[in-house]
Amino acid sequence: MTIEKGQIAPDFTLHNEERKEITLSAQKGSNVLLLFFPQAFTGVCTKELCNVRDNIVAFNSANAKVYGISVDSPFTLAKFKEEQHLNFDLLSDFNKEVSTAYGSIYESFIGWMKGVSKRSAFVIDKEGVVQYAEVLENAGEVPNFDAINATLANLV
């Protein structure tokens, strides 16, 4: 499935790194930035999420809640968040349902791993409508944060 600008974001409930449930539809009234990433503790993922950490003020100013999503377990995500001092929730899509619903799943990753999240970014407005969607095929690339920030600036 491909998620496109203008459609209602598929709702979901996932557990964060503290094993607390986070439901997308409960975030209505705030803008949301979903960042799917392949795996915790890998170079590009660490760089991307630490960049978000270092620029969280810009996202907060846009009334945007940021969520990182991967198929890692909540336990792995908790350790990753702690070590990288991340200041936003990481959500475990261990069962791969949300990554699949958002068209953000590799059938095969690095040749032998099955069902890893593709690096992707989705901006969802206060009403639950997708305003930006980017799914990258190359895990070595990062989302276009200039375009993400411009989208969020238009939603404030």
Q: Any idea which residues carry the catalytic annotation?
A: 45
Q: Give the residue carrying structure tokens 């705030």.
A: 30
Sheet holding 120-124, edge to edge: 21-23, 13-16, 89-92, 64-70, 31-36, 120-124, 130-135
